[in-house]
Amino acid sequence: MDRDGVIIENRENYVLSLKDVSIYPFTFQALASIRSSLYKIILITNQSAVGRGLLSLDEAQGINLRLVELIRLEGGRIDAVYMCPHAPSDVCSCRKPEPGLFFQAAEEMGIDLANSIMIGDALTDLLAAERAGIPKTALVMTGRGLEQSALPLPPGMKPFKVFDNLEDALKGMLCFGS
């Protein structure tokens, strides 16, 4: 899943420190509800603030580590975080909509992408997953989701499901709960 706009609020001026992290109220319960899932739970996130020189790679990794720790303290689970630190103008294979981080996670974590799901708040999240061979994708209406849902779809983009938030997406995509 994506980080900003899915488990924490998007910030127009970037998440530059822990004080900028605002966790959605449903995040802890949603992630706790899938703690025992056989799925690996991975965050794949673009963090261009690093590439723009607004914070260091170490600072960005520290924010991610603390976020994972907070989720674990509340009974949830995140197995790994993969982050693209590049600016949009950089040519890289890891910045979504490119699928590089998905391939890296699959190799390092032993993930079968053909049996995976992706939850994001942007079409670029879903495109990256689609390009990596992930067949099930969901757009949440938190973060940029509402705005993104009004955009024309890129040619050839496969259908995806739409949910109000992460909790609803997990219930709908993993078919649990009421």
Q: Domains along the chain?
A: 18-174 (3.40.50.1000)
* Local confidence band at 178 (pLDDT 50, 70, 90 cut-offs): very low
Model pLDDT for residues 116-172, shown as the tens digit of each residue? 999 999 999 999 999 999 999 999 999 999 999 999 999 989 999 999 999 999 999
- Amino acid identity of residue 160, one-letter, is F
Model pLDDT for residues 12-34, shown as the tens digit of each residue? 999 999 999 999 999 999 999 99
| H runs (alpha helix) in 110-164 | 123-131, 145-149
Q: Would you name the residues annotated as active-site residues?
A: 2, 4
Model pLDDT for residues 37-69, shown as the tens digit of each residue? 999 999 999 999 999 999 999 999 999 999 999
Predicted confidence at residue 133, as pLDDT, reads 98
Dihedrals φ, ψ of 109, to 5°? -105, 0
Predicted confidence at residue 52, as pLDDT, reads 97
The rounded Cα 163 to chain-centroid distance in angstroms is: 14
Quickly tell me which residue has 């950089």 as its tokens. 90
Calculate what percentage of the chain has a pLDDT beyond 70: 98
Task: Assess contact for 85 and 101: CB atoms under 8 A.
Answer: no
Dihedrals φ, ψ of 173, to 5°? -85, -30
Quickly tell me which residue has 């509800």 as its tokens. 33
Dihedrals φ, ψ of 56, to 5°? -80, 165
